[in-house]
A and B are shown apart, each in its own frame.
Chain A
């Protein structure tokens, strides 16, 4: 069973540009979450999608957005990039359906974004 795939693995962008990151979840997983990881702030939740609907959003500015497609693949977009957006962006999928049970999250390798 293939794991969570994130593309690209590395990205260098200039301030003011925008970027789109892609995530393919594990087959059958309908929940996809995005996280930002930086040395100073650690892992922080960005947003979560389930069946093409954003169910929750973390405390990030509106420049951060995302979407999910009918095949559960997800993209996140960051517009008007700032130097502080440099981070490892991680995608996680889970088999959670929203019912009251706990399952683990399966993370991808991440996309290392550097803003110069």
Chain B
């Protein structure tokens, strides 16, 4: 079965620095990978989706890379702010064909703390 691992349970960085989170997966070649942010007591919020044929995707201060050879995705937050403190989850979404289901397999998450 698919296995998805986020290497760090917790990451502390100084405000203004770049945070880099890692997501590795095995036993699968996903067509795309997603990143979500989750604050305590709330549901995950979608951030970025990257497809297997895309090496990199950016959205404001966020950047995601996808290396299908290494089976790894990196998530970067540049110029980090204390408001970026949250748990970040990566998720695999199996490619859909007609009649197949939509489901996400999540990593365990990395709790990011940006120190002022």
On A, residues with C-beta under 8 Å from B are 4, 31, 33, 35, 42-45, 48, 50, 55-56, 58, 88, 90, 92, 94, 96, 98-110, 112
**Which positions 54-105 of chain B face chain A at CB distance < 8 Å?**
89, 93, 95-105
For the complex, count residues of B whose C-beta is within 8 A of A. 29
On B, residues with C-beta under 8 Å from A are 31-32, 34, 36, 41-46, 49, 51, 89, 93, 95-109
Q: By the criterion CB–CB under 8 Å, are A105 and B104 in contact? A: yes
Q: By the criterion CB–CB under 8 Å, are B96 and A100 in contact? A: yes
- Main secondary structure on B side of the interface with A: loop
Which residues of A sit under 8 angstroms from B31, Cβ to Cβ? 102
List the 6 closest pairs (A to B, CB-CB), nearest first. Answer: A56-B101, A107-B43, A55-B101, A104-B46, A43-B106, A45-B103
Which residues of A sit under 8 angstroms from B44, Cβ to Cβ? 43, 90, 105, 107
- Give CA–CA (A55, B100) in the complex, Å: 7
